Amino acid sequence: MSPAPVPLPDDVLRALQATVGNRAVLSDPDRMLVYESDGLTQYRFPPSAVVLPGTAEEVYRVVRILHQAGLPYVARGAGTGLSGGALALNGAVVVATTRLNRILDLDVENRRARVQPGVINAQLTRATAPHGLYYAPDPSSQSACTLGGNVAENSGGPHCLKYGVTSRYVTALTVVLPDGELVRLPTSDPETGTLDLMGLFVGSEGCFGIVVEMEVELLPKPEGVRTLLALFDSLEAAGAAVSTIIGRGLLPAALEIMDRATIEAVEDSVFAAGIPRDTEAALVVEFDGVEAGLDAEMEEARGVCLGSEAREVRTASTAADRDALWKGRKKAFGAMGRIAPDLLVQDATVPRSRLPEVLARIGEIGRRHRLRVANVFHAGDGNLHPNLLFDRNDPDELARVEKASREIMSVCIDAGGTITGEHGVGLDKRPYLPMVLPPPVLEAMGQVKAVFDPTGQCNPGKVLPDEYLPGGGLTRASA
């Protein structure tokens, strides 16, 4: 699967070194090892070089050089992406934002922060906490992933049920376009006649250019928070409790489910959260807002869970107790990493009311393909994460993983859903995209991509199938 690394032409290497300094250009295969893969672990694509610019200006000069040389390149944040977005196809040069990690301005009164793209998501929330503020989108990878990566993927998180995803919180974006032009993207404005290019850029998976600076909106911390953990004897019962909670007009901040396979993995790990191992589903419900009324909402949710045959409901109102209830959910991915060499984190969304039936069908697909499937997901949004556990050195198992993935995607589509809710299409879901988007839409997306990147050098081989990419996808132009 892994093509041999392509060395960069000498003159290009020298130009890059002259721009960012020798130490910020890696071309030694050993030092580039970590840049060969990302969160989609079954793939390895060696880049031809890795560049670590230290300023927005350097990003723009690096992109110019690569653009003029006709070479492919790909932006990279923390490499936690789960769809292979940061993989260096065609020997692309990796432009990593690691050094662009400064919070440039924190405007407490106006609840805004201006940051560089390499700032880690949780770092921003930590920096704003002393002012009673926080950054709402909280992907489960928030202790590692970058804000630039979040913009590229339009990432969500457990609390996006109530607060919405990344696009709602980005208020300004400065990007380097694929031809090396530095622009601040406009939003829709009737007076200047501009379109919402900022909105279009969010979620473009590194295919429209590189974010070099951004401004985000911060929220005041809610006055009160209440958390509940309900344990069920069936996944369907937990799913039904979710539907009832939503149907009652309650709006929790988060509604998260873990199934038995996940609970077992967590309980077997150092992250043990004290959930009985024979629990079929654990549901985390969280409410936040002004103090008054929270207890009543919590009581109602508790009643719903008990009415849906929860065998036990635990509640928490102090920060320490809440952390204990969240512990299993937050450590689920880490724990799973311990029970199988590889993990394919699937991601799809279905209408919330179809959750129970879709979960049952996913279970059946796993059994039929003799695969371990562990579900841990954003239930309130209908955003499923069936995780397929496997060993990439077992080609037969790998083939079954791919078959099962495709079947899971069609089950979700048939239920009125989509093939990705927050992890993006990247490399992984490219072949599935035509299952959800008709040819005219794929064609329009290809045309839009070509407006930003007519030569197809920016993150080649991602999102759209080759036939819809400018120039039919890029094969290494020069060298």
Ligand X SMILES: Cc1cc2nc3c(=O)[nH]c(=O)nc-3n(C[C@H](O)[C@H](O)[C@H](O)COP(=O)(O)OP(=O)(O)OC[C@H]3O[C@@H](n4cnc5c(N)ncnc54)[C@H](O)[C@@H]3O)c2cc1C
Please enumerate in sequence order all residues whose Cβ is within 8 A of that of 92, keeping only pairs 6 or more positions apart, or say none: 45, 47, 48, 71, 72, 73, 74, 459, 460
Region near ligand X per CB under 6 A, out of 150-158, 304-312, 314-322, 356-364? 150-158
Binding part of the chain for another protein, among 49-57, 141-149, 313-321, 429-437 by CB under 8 A, reads: 429-437
Identify residues 178-217 at the interface with ligand X (CB under 6 A): 205-206, 210-211
Name the residue type at position 78: A
Among 119, 332, 436, 469, binds another protein (CB under 8 A): 436
From the list ligand X, another protein, none, partner contacted by residue 452 (C-beta under 5 to 8 A by kind): another protein
Question: Is the CB of residue 119 less than 8 Å from the CB of residue 127?
Answer: no
* Contact flag: residue 157 with ligand X (CB under 6 A): yes
**Residue of 47, 72, 91, 148 that binds ligand X (CB under 6 A):** 148
Applying CB under 6 A, does 90 fall inside the site for ligand X?
no
Give me the helices (H) in 40-120, please: 56-69
Q: Kindly report the backbone phi and psi dihedral angles of residue 189, in degrees, each rounded to the nearest multiple of 5, phi listed first.
A: -145, 120
Rounded distance between C-alpha atoms, residue 25 and residue 48, angstroms: 11
Q: What are the structure tokens assigned to 434, written together?
A: 């035509």
β-strand 133-134 against 219-220: which pairing, if any?
antiparallel
Could you say which of another protein, ligand X, none residue 478 binds, taking C-beta under 5 to 8 angstroms by partner kind? Answer: none
Selected from 5, 9, 70, 289, the binder of another protein by CB under 8 A is 289
- Looking at residues 301 to 340 of the shown chain, list those that interact with another protein (rule: CB under 8 A): none
Question: Which residues inside 20-59 make contact with ligand X, applying CB under 6 A?
Answer: 38-39
The distance of closest approach from Cβ of residue 259 to ligand X in the complex, given in angstroms and rounded to an integer, is 17
Q: Which does 15 bind (CB under 5 to 8 A by kind): ligand X, another protein, none?
A: none
Closer Cβ to another protein, 207 or 282, answer by number: 207
From 54-62, 116-124, 178-186, 367-375, give the range in contact with another protein by CB under 8 A: 178-186
CB 147 within 8 A of CB 117: yes
3-state secondary structure of 63: helix
Q: Which of 250, 339, 360, 398 binds another protein (CB under 8 A)?
A: 250
Is residue 74 at the binding interface for ligand X, with CB under 6 A as the rule? yes
Q: Tell me the C-alpha distance between 350 and 288, whole Å.
A: 25
Which token pair is 69?
Answer: 């040389």
Q: Round to whole Å and give the CA distance between 284 and 313.
A: 10
Closest CA to 353 of 375, 378, 376, 381: 381
Environment class of 295 (CB within 10 Å of its CB; exposed 0-12, middle 13-18, buried 19+): middle
C-alpha distances in Å from residue 422, one per residue of 151, 154, 433, 473: 11, 7, 14, 24
Reduce the DSSP state of residue 277 to 3 states and report it: coil
Our finding on whether 149 is near ligand X (CB under 6 A) is yes
> Which of 249, 395, 396, 478 is in the footprint of another protein by CB under 8 A?
249
How far is it, in rounded angstroms, from Cα 285 to Cα 30? 45
Q: How many CA atoms lie within 13 A of 380 on its CB side?
A: 25
Site string for another protein, 89-128 (x = CB under 8 A): ------------------x-xxxx----------------
Q: Residue 117 touches which of another protein, ligand X, none (CB < 5 to 8 A by kind)?
A: ligand X
Q: Which two tokens stand for residue 207?
A: 């295919």
269 is a contact residue toward ligand X (CB under 6 A) = no
Question: By C-beta, is 74 or 263 nearer to ligand X?
Answer: 74
Please name the residues in contact with 231: beta carbons below 8 A apart, sequence gap of 6 or more. 275, 276, 279, 281, 282, 283, 310, 311, 312, 313
Round to whole Å and give the CA distance between 240 and 246: 10
Of 53, 203, 456, 460, the residue at the interface with another protein (CB under 8 A) is 203
Residue nearer to ligand X on the CB measure, 141 or 346: 141
User: Which stretch in 35-43, 187-195, 273-281, 304-312 sits in contact with another protein by CB under 8 A?
Assistant: 187-195
Minimal distance, residue 318 CB to another protein, in Å = 19
Instruction: Please report, as residue ranges, which positions from 349 to 368 form the binding site for another protein (by CB under 8 A).
Output: 349-353
Answer yes or no whether residue 466 interacts with another protein by CB under 8 A.
no
Q: Which of 274, 276, 303, 416 binds another protein (CB under 8 A)?
A: 416
Q: Per-residue x/- marks for ligand X, 311-350, CB under 6 A?
A: ----------------------x-----------------
User: Which of residues 5 and 224 has its CB atom nearest to another protein in the complex?
Assistant: 224
97 binds ligand X (CB under 6 A): yes
Footprint on this chain of ligand X (rule: CB under 6 A)? 38-39, 74-82, 85-86, 97, 117, 139-141, 145-146, 148-150, 152-153, 155-157, 205-206, 210-211, 333, 422-423, 459
